[in-house]
Amino acid sequence: MEDFKRVSHGDVTLDAHGKATLVHVNIPTDVDMADHCGEQCEGLTVTSNLRPCRASWTLGVHHPLQEQLLPEEILHKIFILVVLQDGDPAIRTLALTCTRFWRIVREESFLKEAHFCWLDSVVNWNSFSEEHRRTYRIPYLISRCIQCDDMYKDCEGYWGCGQRGKLQGFYSENDFAGYCCMDCFYSAGGTI
């Protein structure tokens, strides 16, 4: 994943198993390489125009041919790995990159898969009973806190930030139902 973060200009290729690889490509500097960027570069005669054209292939900048780079199924799988690597905040970062990424990461199937991949990375489900798996291997709900109106993951069981292998705790009962944290619960006058 680090290669995807470091390489700013490159070509994406798929191997026989469908694994995406980003290969660094030098930015063209000669006019005779104008077709290197594709049809949108044809006819360019000013060398200085080639660099911005090639730079437009970087993430965060829309390019008409970007949508042909990878199918959404491949991006979906890559984004799951990104979220497991960086945690839940990566979902927001991906969503803000472009509308295509936003459409992918807001899908319920994506959020469920990311959550279950994280759960599977912190829990050895084979060591627990079937009843435990049915009770705690469930998708989370997004709820609003009654006290502060912040959105939070509302789910009994395993809590974490969505980062592979990182677990914040296990809560077998939801003592603060409707509240994002203990502080909001007590601020609202709650007692246990």
Residue-wise pLDDT tens digits, 14-36: 666 666 666 655 544 444 444 44
Which pairs from 99-104 meet CB under 8 Å and 24+ separation?
Answer: 100/66, 100/67, 100/72, 100/75, 101/75, 104/72, 104/75, 104/76, 104/79
With a cut of 80, say whether residue 48 has pLDDT above it.
no
With a cut of 60, say whether residue 66 has pLDDT above it.
no
In a domain, 78, yes or no: no
In a domain, 113, yes or no: no
Domain C-terminal end among 70, 93, 117: 70
With a cut of 80, say whether residue 132 has pLDDT above it.
yes
In a domain, 86, yes or no: no
Residue 133: give the domain boundaries.
128-187
More confident position, 100 or 32: 100
Q: Which pLDDT score is estimated for 62?
A: 56
Look-up of token digits 């979906």: 76
Domain C-terminal end among 24, 54, 70: 70
Give how many domains the chain has, as a whole number.
2
In a domain, 149, yes or no: yes
pLDDT interval class at 10 (50, 70, 90) = low
With a cut of 70, say whether residue 86 has pLDDT above it.
yes
Q: Which pLDDT score is estimated for 46?
A: 41
Q: Which pLDDT score is estimated for 171?
A: 64
In a domain, 83, yes or no: no
Instruction: Please name the residue ranges forming H helices in the chain.
Output: 2-6, 50-55, 72-86, 89-97, 99-105, 108-122, 130-136, 182-187
In a domain, 159, yes or no: yes
pLDDT interval class at 148 (50, 70, 90) = very high
Domain C-terminal end among 42, 70, 98: 70
In a domain, 34, yes or no: yes
Nearest by Cα to 177 from 166, 169, 167, 188:
188
In a domain, 111, yes or no: no
Chain segment 105-120, per-residue pLDDT in tens:
999 899 889 988 988 9
pLDDT interval class at 50 (50, 70, 90) = very low
Q: Which pLDDT score is estimated for 17?
A: 65
Average pLDDT over every residue of 90-97: 90
Residue 72 Cα to chain centre, angstroms: 13
Residues, the chain:
192
Count of C-beta atoms within a 10 Å radius of residue 180? 20
